[in-house]
Amino acid sequence: MLNAKLQSEYATCLRVKLGAVIVRSNAILGQGCNAAPEGTKNCIEIGTCLRKQMKIPAGQRYEICRSVHAEQNAILNVNCSLYDSAMYIYGSKDGKPINAFPCFICKKMIMNSGITKVYSNNANNEIILNYVEDWRKEWREKDMLEMSDNYE
């Protein structure tokens, strides 16, 4: 989790700082933070957040965001199988811990990646463990529309 927290310090988002690290057998397989794509301007350089300007609430309309999410960057930075690995996600806003649970899009990517466990911090800076198989079970038992309330 400390490595995920360190990754979050490189985030280029004005709203929140997120870092993610993928680990298997105590070896780091991939890591990333929420940041604009390589070679493009980020919100810190520009000095503004488009989603904030448009008054888009947190957790909505991610396609308008300049940044690639930390979980996505961690998965993209891997050059091997993620089978039976774990992801650690740390998030903060204004230096205070936040609930760093993956968004709907990142959750789908994690489910398809081979990652089996996801550890993330909450607003009390406690570490929460989620088993990816439990997410799959939930998706088999419930319709996606029932679950979408959790992501607003």
pLDDT for 67-79, tens place per residue?
999 999 999 999 8
Structure tokens at 143: 């319709």
What is the model's pLDDT at position 104? 86
Place of tokens 């004005």: 14
What is the model's pLDDT at position 97? 97
Q: Look up the CATH superfamily of 2-151.
A: Cytidine Deaminase, domain 2 (3.40.140.10)
Pairing assessment for the beta strands 27-33 and 96-97 based on DSSP bridges: unpaired
| Per-residue H/E/C for 38-107 | CCCCCHHHHCCCHHHHCCCCCCCCHHHCCCECHHHHHHHCCCCCCCCEEEEEEEEECCEECCCCCCHHHH
What is the model's pLDDT at position 151? 46
pLDDT for 6-19, tens place per residue?
999 999 999 999 99
What is the model's pLDDT at position 64? 87
pLDDT for 57-70, tens place per residue?
888 888 888 999 99
Residue 17, classed as helix, strand or coil, is: strand
pLDDT band (50, 70, 90) for residue 152: very low
pLDDT for 85-120, tens place per residue?
999 999 999 999 999 999 988 999 999 999 999 999
For the chain, the first-to-last Cα distance in angstroms comes to 25
More confident residue, 145 or 40: 40
pLDDT for 116-149, tens place per residue?
999 999 999 999 999 999 999 998 888 666 665 5
